[in-house]
A and B are shown apart, each in its own frame.
Chain A
Amino acid sequence: MKRVALILCQAVCALQIGVAAAEKPAIPAKLAALLAATGEDRKPVITPEQRTYFEGLNDHITALLSNATETEIITRADHLGSILALGLRPQKMEVLLQDNCILCHTDPEVQKPETLFSLSPPAGARPHLNLRHVVDDVHFARGLSCSGCHGGDPANDKLEHTHVKEWPGTDRDKNRAWILAFCARCHSDPALMNRFNPGLPTDQLAKYKESPHGKLLIEAKDPRAPDCLSCHGVHGIRNAKNPLSTVNAKRVHETCGACHANPVTMAGFKLPDGSPLPTNQVAEYRASVHGRALLERGDLGAPTCNKCHGNHAAMPVGLASVSQSCGLCHAGNASLFDGSKHKKAFEEHKWAQCAKCHGNHGIVKTHDGMLGTGADSMCVDCHQQYAKNNPECNATAEYFHATIARMDEAWSQFGVVAEQLAMRGLDVDPIHDKLNELADTIKQARAHIHSFSRNNFDQVVAPGNKAVESISALTDGAKTEYRSRQLGLGASIVLIGVMMMAVYLKLRRLERQEEGSLR
């Protein structure tokens, strides 16, 4: 019986396999031979992963692959394997299989090591030989492959094409201005760009020409000046949102730092005041509140170099535009400062507004010690020098500091109290509501010190004081509630105690009576 079932089962399985095989057209002989080929170690050259990828390809792609083997552009199993190993989606695979430049330049039999593109170029080879970069490139995805920059006809399988015809014959590393023009052929042509990515701006070159970088390259012909490729890469230009892109938010500081953090490259460049251009910006930025938000917490909203300096038109942030720059995000603070007495004084002394107290690349998280007249105070230095006889200022600073410190203290203390009350099983939701209100007021108060006006500050702080009062009342209420719970417990324990005693006495009496009656 069992045997019959087994045979039946096998028959059904065989039938199913037969049906499946009938649906899929047979793989042409040459392609099949490559897929089945074994290496010197007698193992199949095509790995199981590559095989699975192949089996998932649609008929069109399989036909293209087969065509490449029939025309003997792909003749080796390892060559086929290196293409399958890319694991490309169909659209990209189609581009690749119709591009004889790539098909030929990935064939280890035909190419010399310095012209062979592969997934793992040998150590020391130039990075542009990495095949992964080529197929990840934004241009490749839109059908713009090797020939788009290097020239030639990718449909041709003979070596008739004119290699790098459009490039300068000599000198192309010394005077790199041709690169700008080369990229701009397309990127500054609105009609052309519209075909590929209508939303993409076409003003990059115009901006770049205005920037110190552009002037350095075009006018001064400085070999250190960056061109398009310096930031975007050669092969493997990716969308800025791609984490692997050199211009992705998280990597911008590295890309800029490649030059700006290198004292050798930056030697000789000077600030307007004549001092040498610093090279510690990247290090400072990494440790700053912005750098840590972006790099450690992954807050992609946090600014990196280009947020303040611009990208294609990168330039120093001018004295007058510091508060504009910071105000992009810290809008409230910038406008409060603009309305304050300090605005005029800062302009007279040519101080860089926000940066005067907070610094620039190395901005650290603010703390309340920066207020008032203590050791970390931001006020004291300038005020001693320029506004010595103004006791009102010191009093205001002290007042700001003391008020915020008092609210902050109340907030953290009542937070602990609320925690304790919650552990005792009391309702702390209303307390948390008020604590949130207080926290909001503290944040606002910290922003509003930038008005440097006591009146303004007091208006903002008023709800906070109210919140402290109600929190105090609420916690007192909760404590009273807890006390009444304990009281209730005490009362019921006394009751139970009395009852237990009564029951015990009753029991003794009844038992004694029984003994008596028995006797």
Chain B
Amino acid sequence: MRSETDQKPTRRSFLDLLLGVSVVAWLGSVLYPVFRYLKPLPQSGPVGPTRLTATELTKLEKDGFVIVPFSGKRVLVVQNAAHQLLALDAKCTHEGCTVQYLAGESVIWCACHNARFDLDGRVLSGPPPRPLPRYTAERQEDGGVVIVGERTSA
């Protein structure tokens, strides 16, 4: 009888300890994802402008154009002879090949079927049925380039 009462407190305290620790651990395991979830990411938001990376930027300077992933699509950013920035969908409207910018001729060219577009995306020659959708690209004060979004009115 006596031994039982002696043992009881330790067993009970062990149980309480176990309970307490497991509750705390469990709370931690729930709160950790929640806190991680709540803390905003340092980069831009879901629909905010996409900034070109340093490598992309050097490529733009060197070749006059670069192809950048932008919300699941590929966008061709062109810097024309007058140093204006233009952005167009890089997917040819004919067979879906990736287009490129020919700086010498100031046209956008698709190698697959020799299609040519002007810098507004209009079809100059070749088989594409529609012009290339246009995007808006802007140069920021620090020299960086961002793609802002699709242009609704062409």
From B12, B19, B128, contact of A503 by CB (8 A): B19
Q: Are A502 and B19 in contact (CB under 8 A)?
A: yes
Q: Are B127 and A299 in contact (CB under 8 A)?
A: yes
Contact with B along A440-454 (1 / 0, CB 8 A): 100110010000000
Query: At the interface, yes or no: B58 with Cβ under 8 Å from chain A?
Result: no
Given contacts A328-B114, A330-B114, A440-B98, contact A498 B18 (CB under 8 A): yes
Given contacts A302-B127, A429-B69, A492-B29, contact A331 B22 (CB under 8 A): no
Residues of A with C-beta under 8 A to B72: 429, 432
Contacting B at CB under 8 A, from A300-315, are: 300-302
Q: Are B15 and A499 in contact (CB under 8 A)?
A: no
Given contacts A440-B98, A505-B15, A506-B19, contact A329 B74 (CB under 8 A): no
Q: Are B19 and A329 in contact (CB under 8 A)?
A: no
Query: At the interface, yes or no: B40 with Cβ under 8 Å from chain A?
Result: no
Q: Are A329 and B127 in contact (CB under 8 A)?
A: yes
Q: Are B26 and A331 in contact (CB under 8 A)?
A: no
Q: Once the chains are docked, how many angstroms separate the CA of A492 from the CA of B29?
A: 7
Q: Dominant SS at the A interface? A: helix
Q: Are A301 and B18 in contact (CB under 8 A)?
A: no
From B15, B26, B30, contact of A506 by CB (8 A): B15
Contact with A along B127-142 (1 / 0, CB 8 A): 1110000000000000
Q: Once the chains are docked, how many angstroms separate the CA of A432 from the CA of B25?
A: 38
Contacting A at CB under 8 A, from B46-101, are: 69, 72, 74, 94, 97-98
Query: At the interface, yes or no: B144 with Cβ under 8 Å from chain A?
Result: no
Contacting A at CB under 8 A, from B2-43, are: 12, 15-16, 18-19, 22-23, 25-26, 29-30
Q: Are B19 and A330 in contact (CB under 8 A)?
A: no
Residues of A with C-beta under 8 A to B19: 499, 502-503, 506
Residues of A with C-beta under 8 A to B129: 299-301
Residues of B with C-beta under 8 A to A492: 26, 29-30
Q: Once the chains are docked, how many angstroms separate the CA of A498 from the CA of B24?
A: 12
What are 13 of the A-B contact pairs (CB < 8 Å)?
A: A299-B129, A300-B127, A300-B129, A301-B129, A332-B114, A429-B72, A443-B97, A447-B111, A492-B26, A495-B22, A495-B25, A505-B15, A506-B15
Given contacts A433-B69, A502-B19, contact A496 B127 (CB under 8 A): no
Query: At the interface, yes or no: A509 with Cβ under 8 Å from chain B?
Result: yes
Q: Are A495 and B94 in contact (CB under 8 A)?
A: no
What is the number of contacts between chain A and chain B, taking CB atoms within 8 Å?
Answer: 67
Q: Once the chains are docked, how many angstroms separate the CA of A202 from the CA of B112?
A: 33
Given contacts A301-B129, A432-B72, A436-B98, contact A496 B114 (CB under 8 A): no
Q: Are A502 and B18 in contact (CB under 8 A)?
A: yes
Question: Min CB distance, A485 to chain B, in Å?
Answer: 10
Question: Min CB distance, B55 to chain A, in Å?
Answer: 13
Q: Are B12 and A509 in contact (CB under 8 A)?
A: yes
Query: At the interface, yes or no: A491 with Cβ under 8 Å from chain B?
Result: yes
13 further contact pairs, Cβ within 8 A, besides A329-B126, A499-B22, A505-B15: A299-B129, A327-B114, A328-B114, A331-B111, A432-B72, A436-B74, A443-B97, A447-B111, A492-B26, A492-B29, A495-B22, A502-B18, A509-B12
Contacting B at CB under 8 A, from A415-470, are: 429-430, 432-433, 436, 440, 443-444, 447
From A300, A301, A505, contact of B113 by CB (8 A): A301
Q: Once the chains are docked, how many angstroms separate the CA of A503 from the CA of B21?
A: 12
Q: Once the chains are docked, how many angstroms separate the CA of A499 from the CA of B15?
A: 11
Question: Min CB distance, B107 to chain A, in Å?
Answer: 13
Q: Once the chains are docked, how many angstroms separate the CA of A429 from the CA of B30?
A: 28
Question: Min CB distance, A158 to chain B, in Å?
Answer: 53
Residues of A with C-beta under 8 A to B112: 443
Given contacts A436-B74, A505-B15, A509-B12, contact A499 B26 (CB under 8 A): yes
> Which residue of chain A has the shortest Cβ distance to B18 in the bound complex?
A502
Residues of B with C-beta under 8 A to A327: 114
Q: Are B114 and A495 in contact (CB under 8 A)?
A: no
Given contacts A299-B127, A301-B128, A509-B12, contact A498 B22 (CB under 8 A): yes
Question: Min CB distance, A34 to chain B, in Å?
Answer: 47
Residues of B with C-beta under 8 A to A429: 69, 72
